[in-house]
Amino acid sequence: MTCEVIQKGRSGVINPIFTCQPAGAQYASIGIKDCIGIVHGGQGCVMFVRLLFSQHFKENFLIASSSVHEDGAVFGALNRVEEAVDVLLMRYPDVKVVPIITTCSTEVIGDDVDGVILKLNRGLLQEKYADREVHLIAVHAPSFVGSQVSGYDVAVEAFVSHFAKKSEPSGKLNLITGWVNPGDVTVLKQLLAEMQVDATVLFEIESFDSPIMPDKSGESHGSTTIEDLTGTANAIGTLALNRYEGGRAARYLENEFGIPSIIGPTPIGIRNTDTFLHNVKALTGKPIPQSLVRERGKAIDALADLVHMFLAEKRVAIYGHPDLVIGLAEFCIDLEMKPVLLLLGDDNTTYKNDPRIKALQSGVDFEMEIVLNADLMELEDRIKNKELNLDLILGHSKGRFVAIDNNVPMVRVGFPTYDRAGLHRHPVVGYAGAIWLAEEMANTLFTDMEYKKNKEWILNVW
């Protein structure tokens, strides 16, 4: 009975779990109101990321490119940034926040983005946009470092450190959600509202789920404002739900402004949601109300209907963002399931020291493997050639063919989930997320039983 943590043996990637840093930085940028990022690099670095976001949300998001062509790659392309900023500001009068997100090409050629921002601040912005609040923020996101996960983390820190400014204490709580869905933000806000906690949600992306309006005004955008970001320095505390997606910003606020921070755990499942509320209580002094006792009870009730009869002993593989994967694994264990394989898709060397991973290593009572720097071939190979014998896969849509070709039922969770409808509307965090996850897993297993004629009659009297 061991839990082994290993590294993928191959040097390359076959069927990746993550994309690169600029995508994560772009995801953070669309969470801010009146913000259009400029990605400094080739056009594909934006075009495909916008496509990816639109695949996941079935919505459109605005991100610009500096459109570096061959001449820029040879002679330097900072002039493209200058032009991009001007063109963007001229045509989008509401834009106030413009992160300049670097990529592999512009980091390799050594374009001094910080320098050009200084130049633009002293030149263009003063000369042409003097009566307008504009913030240019360098986000260094070379694609050959980290992954989309660290790109998000780096960008959140860049935004917070640019804006955070000490003034009067606000009494508010900073809530750094990490890379979540609109459905998650809704649930988190509800939990905080029940506790009567006034919080600044970073990033407030509930409005990514936008309507078609009769007057055509519907638009998906982030809702975190400059004031929200500025005020983070005056909060009573910071809760960063995900260690690897916002943890840096929480530490920055603690080190720079003495804002006490609690990083993690991701509130997936009953136990982690309990801890989340405990942490909110610790930082704000607010009690946990009866209404949440009831809500929790409903979730426990829903789970009790499922665990012993259907979920117990089910063997699960989970891949995706590290905080999500660990949270899901912990929840699965509480549900009596066996998360036998966890795949974390980048080369972050600190994962192996994560206390949650250490706890899994010392605590699980079945054979479990955690693969770092993993790709989806690690999953497929174990199913095909190493008798992993799975009942269920939890992961995002890029792994769909592993599930399909190997006849393993799969619950889509994480980012992106473009091959299922509307999943961004559903939460995985909080008690509501616990219900959704458990019932989605159960229903997926039920459908699979029916298609495979595998004791499908058992559901007759349930």
207-246: contacts with other proteins (CB under 8 A): 210, 212-216, 218-219
Distance, CA of 331 to CA of 361 (rounded, Å): 16
Among positions 260-319, residues that touch other proteins (CB under 8 A) are: none
Answer yes or no whether residue 7 interacts with other proteins by CB under 8 A: no
Which residues are bridge partners to 394 per DSSP? 318, 411
CB of 412 to other proteins, least distance (A): 13
Chain position carrying tokens 């999500």: 324
| Residue nearer to other proteins on the CB measure, 172 or 221 | 221
Q: Which is nearest to 346 in space by CA: 23, 130, 83, 103? A: 23
Residues in the chain: 462
Answer yes or no whether residue 84 interacts with other proteins by CB under 8 A: yes
Answer yes or no whether residue 12 interacts with other proteins by CB under 8 A: yes
Question: Tokens for 127?
Answer: 């000369």
CB of 48 to other proteins, least distance (A): 4
Count of Cβ atoms closer than 10 Å to residue 46 Cβ? 24
- Those residues with Cβ within 8 angstroms of residue 222's Cβ, 6 or more apart along the chain or in another chain: 30, 31, 32, 33, 35, 203, 204, 205, 207, 208
Q: Exactly one of 3, 5, 19, 323 binds other proteins (CB under 8 A); which one?
A: 19
Q: For the chain, first and last CA: distance in Å? A: 33
Q: Exactly one of 4, 75, 87, 297 binds other proteins (CB under 8 A); which one?
A: 87
Answer yes or no whether residue 347 interacts with other proteins by CB under 8 A: yes
Contact 172, 200 (CB under 8 A): yes
Contact 155, 229 (CB under 8 A): no
Phi, psi angle pair for 320, to nearest 5°: 140, -155
* CA-derived radius of gyration, the chain: 23
Answer yes or no whether residue 45 interacts with other proteins by CB under 8 A: yes
- DSSP-assigned letters across all residues of 37-68: EEEES-THHHHHHHHHHHHHHSS---EEE---
Q: Which is nearest to 298 in space by CA: 167, 152, 433, 111? A: 433
For residue 62, count CB atoms less than 10 angstroms from its CB and return exposed for 0-12, middle for 13-18, buried for 19 or more.
middle
Answer yes or no whether residue 164 interacts with other proteins by CB under 8 A: no
CB of 162 to other proteins, least distance (A): 20
Among positions 98-127, residues that touch other proteins (CB under 8 A) are: 103-105, 108-109
| Residue nearer to other proteins on the CB measure, 54 or 170 | 54
| Residue nearer to other proteins on the CB measure, 86 or 336 | 86
From residue 327, alpha-carbon distances to 92, 268, 322 in Å are 40, 5, 8
CB of 444 to other proteins, least distance (A): 21
Contact 410, 395 (CB under 8 A): yes
Q: Which is nearest to 13 in space by CA: 277, 242, 319, 257? A: 319
Q: Exactly one of 11, 167, 353, 362 binds other proteins (CB under 8 A); which one?
A: 11
Answer yes or no whether residue 384 interacts with other proteins by CB under 8 A: no
Answer yes or no whether residue 147 interacts with other proteins by CB under 8 A: yes
x/- mask, other proteins, residues 399-438, rule CB under 8 A, reads -xx---x---------------------------------
Judged by CB under 8 A, the stretch of 83-91, 155-163, 236-244, 449-457 that binds other proteins is: 83-91
| Residue nearer to other proteins on the CB measure, 81 or 423 | 81
Q: Exactly one of 48, 75, 451, 462 binds other proteins (CB under 8 A); which one?
A: 48
Distance, CA of 85 to CA of 64 (rounded, Å): 9
CB of 406 to other proteins, least distance (A): 12
x/- mask, other proteins, residues 57-76, rule CB under 8 A, reads -xxx-xxxxxxxxx-xx---
Q: Exactly one of 50, 162, 382, 412 binds other proteins (CB under 8 A); which one?
A: 50
Answer yes or no whether residue 16 interacts with other proteins by CB under 8 A: yes
Answer yes or no whether residue 139 interacts with other proteins by CB under 8 A: no
Judged by CB under 8 A, the stretch of 33-41, 111-119, 241-249, 286-294 that binds other proteins is: 33-41
| Residue nearer to other proteins on the CB measure, 163 or 208 | 208
